[in-house]
Amino acid sequence: MRMFKRLTLALAFTLPISLISPLKAHATLIPPTFQFTGAGYGHGVGMSQMGARSKALAGESAASILSFYYKDVALETVDDTKILRVNIGHQLTSARMLTRTQGATMQIFSGDIGDAQGLQPLAIIPAMSSLNFSVLGSTVIPSITTGKNSSSIPSNRVFTVRWSGTRYLAGVDGIMSLSHANRKSNFRYGQVQVRAIKAGSLGFRLAITNTVRLADEYLWGVSEMPSFWPTAALEAQAIASRTYALSKAGVIRSACDCDLYGEITDQKFLGHAKEIEKKWGVVWKAAVTNTAGLVLTQAGKPITAWFGSSSGGITETALNAWGSERAFTHSVEDAASLDPVLNPNFYKWDRSITQSIVATAFLLPDVVNLEILTRNPSGTVGMIRATASNGRQISIRGETFRSRTKIPSAYFNLVGVQNAVEPAPSPSS
């Protein structure tokens, strides 16, 4: 806690001294930006990756690291061969797939065909020809482009795409390249579903998912920690990632047609690029293999093993971050996160956030004043209140504010705000 007190408070705009106190409801000054200072990156719940790195460098094992960050858990071996559906394209209007592997092919099938074999594909797409998708109303429109020639495929609500060298299609080991929204990713395993889903006011959009086996095909592609970090840290990450995925498996979310998002909403799934990182990809794969089947459990079930890059010096609980009690989360010292050598980008930080972003975070037309109402024992903001020029006030959780404004963490302060509170005393102090 005392580490966090070193952080200062400031406003992004300069006010006369007479206006530094909280603005009245009728105030008309609408600041263009607000300035924040803080420490850490992420929600701070569960394992601190910077802390795991520090402990591994000090010679601690993966089991020791995990038992420090997760309270009253067991490390058990379970069957992790479950099949996951991972979202690799969210709310898209178009996408393109192709394989550049010589001799490899792709096949497209109408519908979500699961593990079915022996079905007749709608088309076989050779290497270097592209399979293109767009959405029209509630239907997916596929087409094939070979050189300058294009051919259409009858539309449907959902399609399955397979490529050779996978569990689903024999042949030359192919790499499927997916391009969308100026982004390209490569996938080696599984199969892909392309579905039109309702995306609120946006109408229908494409959801693209990669169906992969958790034990290897998924975990080999998880990119949540640099592969050159110490072995014990990588093994702790592999166990946490396996545990988190198992806790989410089996419930398909309609918003993404997935068990898991392939982004940091759940876990970053880089696909084949993680596995083939020069020199270090094999190190990450070894960490996955060396911890095969190991998961963190409480009462016999995999926990939702949250983790994050770094904290503000003390980790956070699920209750304080999101309002949901989880017995396996607790606040522990995390000095490594405040080490400028280990965490040069986020041991401290400052951000200037625009008026429009702050106002949107509170669902207000504008914001003339921000006040930190409470702090949690970890130093994170408990509640923060905004006042609009019309006098309306809205209060939200600090973690909600972090998520909506994209500031690095909820371990933050406002510069110059005179009524910000000190962290609450720890229950153990």
User: Using one digit for the tens of pLDDT, what is the confidence trace for 285-295?
Assistant: 999 999 999 99
Give residue 4's pLDDT. Answer: 36
Q: What does the mean pLDDT of the chain come to?
A: 92
Domain assignment present for residue 182? The answer is yes
Give the pLDDT band of residue 18 (cuts 50, 70, 90). Answer: very low
Give residue 414's pLDDT. Answer: 96
Give residue 101's pLDDT. Answer: 97
Give residue 29's pLDDT. Answer: 87
The residue with greater pLDDT, 216 or 19, is 216
pLDDT at 429 over 90: no
The closest alpha carbon to 303, from 61, 70, 81, belongs to 70
Asked if 4 and 411 touch (Cβ cutoff 8 Å), the reply is yes
3 state DSSP class of 235: helix
Give the pLDDT band of residue 6 (cuts 50, 70, 90). Answer: very low
Q: Alpha helices, DSSP H only, in 311-368?
A: 318-322, 355-361
Tokens of 7: 């952080």
Whole-prediction pTM:
0.89
Give the pLDDT band of residue 98 (cuts 50, 70, 90). Answer: very high
Domain assignment present for residue 391? The answer is no
pLDDT at 418 over 60: no
Give residue 381's pLDDT. Answer: 98
Domain assignment present for residue 78? The answer is no
Find the mean pLDDT for residues 406-411: 98
Find the mean pLDDT for residues 15-23: 38
Domain assignment present for residue 33? The answer is no
Give φ, ψ of 351 to 5 degrees. Answer: -140, 145
pLDDT at 76 over 80: yes
pLDDT in tens, 146-188: 999 999 999 999 999 999 999 999 999 999 999 998 899 999 9
pLDDT at 9 over 70: no
Distance CA 34, CA 245 (A): 37
Q: How many domains does the chain have?
A: 1
Structural domain containing residue 178: 83-216
Task: Give the up-direction half-sphere exposure of residue 403: CA atoms within 13 A in the CB hemisphere.
Answer: 11
Domain assignment present for residue 158? The answer is yes
String of DSSP letters for 249-317: TT--BTTTTBSEESSTTS--B-THHHHT-TTTHHHHHHHHHHTTTEEEEETTEE----EESB-SSB-B-
Find the mean pLDDT for residues 42-65: 98
Domain assignment present for residue 165? The answer is yes
pLDDT in tens, 230-243: 999 999 999 999 99
Which of 5-9, 99-103, 135-139, 348-352 is predicted least confidently?
Answer: 5-9
pLDDT at 21 over 80: no
Distance CA 126, CA 414 (A): 57
Amino acid (one-letter) located at 194 = V
Give the pLDDT band of residue 338 (cuts 50, 70, 90). Answer: very high
Find the mean pLDDT for residues 46-71: 98
Domain assignment present for residue 22? The answer is no
Percent above pLDDT 70 for the chain: 90
Give the pLDDT band of residue 417 (cuts 50, 70, 90). Answer: low
Tokens of 428: 């153990």
Going 405 to 406 to 411 to 413, the CA torsion angle's sign is: negative
In angstroms, the Cα distances linking 238 to 378, 379, 383 are 26, 29, 34
Query: Taking the mean position of all CA atoms in its chain, how far away is CA 145?
Result: 34
Domain assignment present for residue 183? The answer is yes
pLDDT at 194 over 80: yes
Distance CA 33, CA 357 (A): 9
